[in-house]
A and B are shown apart, each in its own frame.
Chain A
Amino acid sequence: MLARTPSHSPGPMARAFHRFGHNKAALFGVCIILPMLAMILSYPLWWTFKPNDIDLLAMNSGPTATHWFGTDGVGRDVFVRVLEGGRISLLVAVASTIISAIIGFLVGAISALAGRWADAVTMRFVDLVMTLPPVIFLLVLASIAGTGIGPTVLVISLLSWPLLSRMIRSRLLELRERDFVLASRGMGAGLGHLLFRHGLPNSIDILVVYATLQIANAILLEAGLSFLGLGIAPPAASWGNMLNAARSTAVLEQFPWQWLFPGGALVLAVLAINFIGDGLRDAFDPRAELN
């Protein structure tokens, strides 16, 4: 009976990644983000300076052979601070994305699968969170939570989950009526089984795309918060607070390397991650399955 399908054909995930491999912009994003990640993670092994080392002989020095990206006003090496700032920015972004993805998925899934009352209550709550003006909400939350990595992660995650929960809910509302889910209920499946055996695998495309785009978004939010003095406090480095430290007219005009390099790293990372996110979205697009 299986004569017509002699070779083992790949599963849906494998096909999606095959399509991703043919997307040039997405591969370009990968080619940028992977070296950046490698440098950010490995810099203590091959770079002589530490983020808070002060070189009193080279304050506000331009790029040289010893300080590739120059130094800032107190003689700290900008190159190492960009890498350390990348570490903190990415840490904040990844952690807040994971937390908001978990909250968003669970809220959306419970809303879709746990009955009408749960749906009404959670969705009104989501409406409430979504109506809060994001910047003001962010500032109020941040001024309550304080500065540092933990509070910044918390603030960004609490702001970002409602959009995801809406998308998950609509996906699962549709899924709930599908025959194979009905079959699962007919075999006695409870909420947990439906959530993790059907809900999760069938929302993985939404989650992956949300996660990539949200990482880029969170890097920007963190930079914005730090720029306003509410995210990562100096002397710790982050892309946002490096830009903040360099915002005086004198620095902008005379020492451009102090903002050019953290700003450039920020733009490059966000751009690359967005390319990857777009590529993943196209790869998971159900219409692509028709080809």
Chain B
Amino acid sequence: MSAAPFLTVRDLAKHYVSRGTKLNILEGISFDIAKGEVVGLVGESGSGKTTIGRSVLRLVEPSSGSVEFDGTELTTLSAAQMRRTRPRMQYIFQDPFASLSPRMTIGEILTEGLKIQGIGTRKERMDRARNALVQVDLPAEAVNRYAHEFSGGQRQRIGIARALTLAPEFIVADEPVSALDVSIQAQVINLLRDLQQRLGLTMLFISHDLAVVEYICDRVIVLYLGRIMEIASSADLYARPQHPYTRALLSAIPSPDPDAPRNRQILKGDIPSPANPPSGCVFRTRCPVALEACAHTIPELREVSPGQFKACIRDDLN
């Protein structure tokens, strides 16, 4: 991709202990994001997508591993240093109804970050809030209203505007459209893409909607039960998926063409509990092509073709 990655994640792990049982939510997560790149993070519910997004910004403290952002190791920063770094990296939330305070006006919500960081006078902050609203196609007069006066799509755009007020370079977008109606999803996705291109943002885009990911992302990370299954450029992943899990996921994308041949692979069962993950490859219990050996070997993530990585011991498929 490029020489020096903007964000480097190495061996990130997150464990919770709940009533004596250890839950390995994330295990051995490593990936890079280049400056200006949009990387998708896909996986089922409970695969740890949100935990990765929050750990990278240290909204959740990772249990181990390193996160290097533009040359700075984030996991060892003091609270004060972290606060100074925070404006450079922002988060867009999934639920537009939970992410805006019901007791603040839009103006207060949008100037909150600037106020925390001590940027500008009151009037300058308000001007920046108005600009941010215009950037997301909302009228600047909305600053005097409350969040409950807006629809889901409008609220999500306010959430995006809030992330932009601090002029970040890196954004984690956590399923920014999955709570919205399909008709509104396209609007918000296009807005995000325009903003990303215009402002040169680097983005980690979390989603379970593979069609959306294909549209907006340069590269895709496929996650299953807190482990990375496959990393590839969008073009490669959709044209030549290598991992059996990725293949199953892609076969589940609905096609708008009713006559298209359907060869859906239905995965049996549910994602296993992180309290009791399968030995070896965590996907083997649902994998259509699992072998005896899969129960004993933890597959390494390795490069199978330029820029495409998979964590599967079976190279004999295709």
Contact = CB atoms under 8 A, between A and B. Distances in A.
A185 B148 contact: no
A11 interface: yes
A178 interface: yes
B116 A186 contact: no
Given A1-B154, A183-B93, A188 B116 contact: yes
Interface string A186-200: 111110010001100
B162 A183 contact: yes
A244 to B, nearest CB: 46
A12 B102 contact: yes
B98 A8 contact: no
Contacts of B86: 186-188
Interface string A1-29: 11011001101110000000000000000
B149 A183 contact: no
B194 interface: no
A12 B145 CA distance: 11
A104 B101 CA distance: 24
B106 to A, nearest CB: 11
Contacts, number: 79
Per DSSP, chain A at the interface is: helix
A173 to B, nearest CB: 16
Interface residues of B, number: 39
Contacts of A201: 101, 103-104
Nearest to B157: A1
Interface string B227-267: 00000000000000000000000000000000000000000
A190 B105 CA distance: 21
B311 to A, nearest CB: 30
A188 B91 CA distance: 12
Interface in B22-64: 57, 59
Interface of B: 57, 59, 82-84, 86-87, 90-91, 93, 95, 98-105, 109, 112-113, 116-117, 137-139, 142, 144-146, 148-151, 154, 159, 162, 166
